[in-house]
Amino acid sequence: MRATKEAAGLGFETATRLLNESGIAARVLWESLLLPVLGIRPAGALHLPGELPDAGEVARSTGQLFTERVNLGSGHGTFPARLFLDKVLFSAYRLVLPPAVYRSKLAEMSLNDTLRDAPSYRAHLDWAKALGLHVYQVSARANAREIFFYTSHSTKRDLDKATALRHRIRRRSLRQLDTTKVRTFMVYPEEMSPEYVGLMGKILGYPDCCIAAYIRDRRGDIFYPELRAAGQLGVKGDGGQPTPTVDHPYAYFVRNFVPCRPDCPEATALGRKAASALQEMDPRLGRAYLDGLLRNRGAIERAPTLIARREKAIALHLGRAAEQEQAEKTTAADTEEEKP
């Protein structure tokens, strides 16, 4: 049964405690936790460790733990007796698993153990329980995890279906690796699947028209729908045609969402409904949510610059790799010519 404002005990006191919670980023608070509780969207998402307030510290701790475990498995260095069983375990993994799978397993174990001890991670789970939300966790890749907060059993079924679909797509992608694709879609091939994108859009409460536009972009020549959305806002660089000026940001009702257009009626209605519900709960939440909407729109406006910077970095990395490969081929050919 869908959680309600009354059932979750939402009010001034709860709002005050939430606003004072240092373990949850502000926009995660209302977009991922409160909007599902208030019935604005079926589920909210959290990407770990990137969206934790202490993401840098969690990433560093995960990296240190991963390095320690790699060394334990390889037998390098000396370690206290308390790590003997870990050494045996990781050495066994190293013997029976392919190298890439072995390192991936250690990375995932290291992230899981680091998160278990992270106060910010615990804060999200504790608040989900207090607000009457169910929690669904899934590994996005070895060093990243996704958490979904939801209220309905039908959403749980959709999440199970999406997880299974993603696994199938990734297995198929490994067998048919296409190196001409943007690197993002080599890591997350499900993002090119209309079925997967449509299902996740439904889970996260995106309007059908916006989901359809997103899928059209991906099936066409626009790898990044954010470029089309930035163009609609009049940002030069790429994307769609500018639309008439919209004097409000309600269509950008949650972060990481790309509306079909800045004045999308369905997305705007969701943004207004969320703002009204949060304002009723506590005016401070209403004001904070409106500030978040402006930041969501600002992220779209900055997207062309950020995407260009990322593509340049990837091209530079691939260029260096190609140069290294060519140098190795030249050296090998020279060696062959020098043989008597």
The closest alpha carbon to 59, from 101, 120, 126, 147, belongs to 120
- Residue 336: predicted pLDDT: 46
Q: Quote the pTM value.
A: 0.81
E strand spans, the chain: 43-48, 134-141, 144-150
DSSP 186-222: HH-GGGG-HHHHHHHHHHTT--HHHHHHHHHHHHTT-
Does residue 122 have a pLDDT over 60? yes
Summarize pLDDT for 271-307 with one digit per residue, the tens: 999 999 999 888 989 999 999 999 999 999 998 888 8
Does residue 166 have a pLDDT over 90? yes
Summarize pLDDT for 1-48 with one digit per residue, the tens: 344 444 445 677 888 888 889 999 988 999 999 999 999 999 999 999
Q: What count of other Cβ atoms lies within 10 Å of the Cβ of residue 97?
A: 15
The CA-CA-CA angle for residues 324, 328, 333, to 5°, reads 145
